[in-house]
Amino acid sequence: MSVEVTLPPLCRAKDVAEGQTLGCTVPGQRRKVIVMRHRGALHGWLDACPHYAGGTPMAWKKNEYLNGAGTHLTCHAHGALFDPETGECVAGACLGKRLTRVELRLETDGTVRLAKALEGGKTE
Amino acid sequence: MNIIGPDALVFGVDDIAACTEYLTEFGLKPIDVTDKGGFFEALDGTGVEIRHRDDPSLPTPLPTPTMLRQQVYGVQSTEDLDAIETELSKDRRVTRLADGSLETTDVFDFALKFQVTKRRELVMEAEKINAPGAPAGRAPNELGIYPGMPALPRTLSHTVLFVPDQQKGAEWYVERLGFVITDILVPAGPFLRPKANDDHHTLFFIQTPEYMKGIEHLAFHMGGPTELMVAGSRLARKGFQSFWGPGRHKFGSNWFWYFNSPLGTHFEYDADMDKHDDSWVARQAPMSPQGTQMFLFEWRKRWSPGPGPEGITEGEDTPE
């Protein structure tokens, strides 16, 4: 018998405007999930810069994950820039590495949820 | 060469408004700041200058994403400027500006400026504590803490740079500018202090690939560990992102708390750093959790036991 597991809601789709980011807390997880709307589509990324193993938080302030021009996700630890569609680091400390994509599920009522449970990184 | 330490750090940023908000909330005072940037000073007049990255008045950028554009060192006198000019002119261009200051580059092409220091002498008390067996630090009825207590950066403490060859960097700053190595983290690099400053370090190198060359972090001295905790807690409570700390480093003994920033580098509050003289013999330790720190904590919202099973966590607008 399969068991339906309801994964936690992250945010409302309408709360993420084009070119904006939200840092969403996931219960029991050490790292947040970044939800970004880029060219109309929602993308989910683990708030964990790959510069150091295990990742470190990237915002400079709550929900602030972009560079000044709004063109790249940015780690505000050392200024590394990431492609908002692929998560690839294009400049900075983690050149050649990429962000961890988080699959999202958009429900008919506009709720954005995790599509599957996050692996690892639980609260210590 | 009586170099005192960093008077200022100059950045070319891509978001003046965000940086203005950040630097102000960090506790620096805006001086003549406009939408084109300006200076943000600590209590002694040292600080951080920001301009838009395309501002033609800024020194040439490094070929990496770092936003650091110039390190401004304060020296004791014009004679020190003369000595620096004579030494560095042997193998690099040194420009004497109208005010007598010097501009040049270091061995890694980081832009440097030397000036007779503009820092003001601070006359302030350190954090005062009471301890059994020692004379009381505070008078009767004098409180140690209170809501709204001042906790502002006092002076620019140190700079940490990502460099492609820490050995080469250490040799250059020691041989050409008279810096002293106080301790070494292996394999990262050396802690350095200039001749006219007895702080454990005003400069530290971390060896990295060339594409990372730039600033790793900068730090401001606070009046003691409580001021550090208060300032950091205020910042965290407003939603600013803690990166590492609070904790206490082993080398230097300084308390630390690092925050992310829109200037592409960490800003650190530090407090109670060791002082050294020339009799000190440099130590070595591994760049490891136990090598770099005595202890480490992580910020959380204030919580207290309460009548319910979860206790009570402070809300968004809980007063200090």
Nearest 10 degrees: Cα torsion B283, B277, B177, B210: 30
To the nearest whole angstrom, how far is the Cα of B19 from the nearest Cα of chain A? 10
Q: What is the mean pLDDT of residues B159-166?
A: 97
Amino acid sitting at position B145: I
CB contact under 8 A, B211 and A95: yes
CB neighbours of A69 closer than 8 A, spacing ≥ 6? B14
Interface of B with A (CB under 8 A): 13-15, 18, 22, 64-67, 162, 208, 211-212, 214, 216, 238-243, 259-262, 264-266
Query: Is CATH 3.40.50.720 the classification given to domain A9-114?
Result: no
Q: Enumerate the residues of chain A whose CB falls inside 8 A of the CB of residue B242.
A: 57
Instruction: Tell the CATH topology of B3-119+152-296.
Output: 2,3-Dihydroxybiphenyl 1,2-Dioxygenase; domain 1 (3.10.180)
Nearest to A81 among B13, B65, B260 (CB): B65
Of A60, A62, A69, which is closest to B261 when you measure between CB atoms?
A60
> What would the pLDDT profile of B270-317 be if each residue is shown by its tens digit?
999 999 999 999 999 999 999 999 999 999 999 999 888 889 999 888
- Angle A57-B253-B274 (CA atoms, 0-180°, nearest 5)? 130
CA gyration radius, chain B: 20
Distance CA B43, CA B225 (A): 17
Which pLDDT tens digit goes with each residue over B64-101? 999 999 999 999 999 999 999 999 999 999 999 999 99
- Round to the nearest angstrom and report the end-to-end CA distance of chain A: 32
Q: What is the pLDDT of residue A120?
A: 60
Return d(Cα B108, Cα B111) in angstroms, integer.
9
How many Cβ atoms from other residues are within 10 Å of residue B109's Cβ?
12
Q: What percent of chain B has pLDDT over 70?
A: 100
Six-digit token string for B18: 């965000």
Q: Tell me the average pLDDT of chain B.
A: 97
pLDDT tens, residue by residue, A12-28: 999 999 999 999 999 88
Domain locations along chain B: 3-119+152-296
Lowest mean per-residue pLDDT among A26-30, B32-36, B95-99, B170-174: A26-30
Using one digit for the tens of pLDDT, what is the confidence trace for A37-84? 999 999 999 999 999 888 999 999 999 999 999 999 999 999 999 999
Q: Max CA-CA distance within chain A?
A: 50
Q: At what angle do helices B78-88 and B166-177 cross, to 10 degrees?
A: 130
Q: Measured between CA atoms, how close is B268 to chain A, in angstroms?
A: 11
Q: Number of Cβ pairs closer than 8 Å across A and B?
A: 70
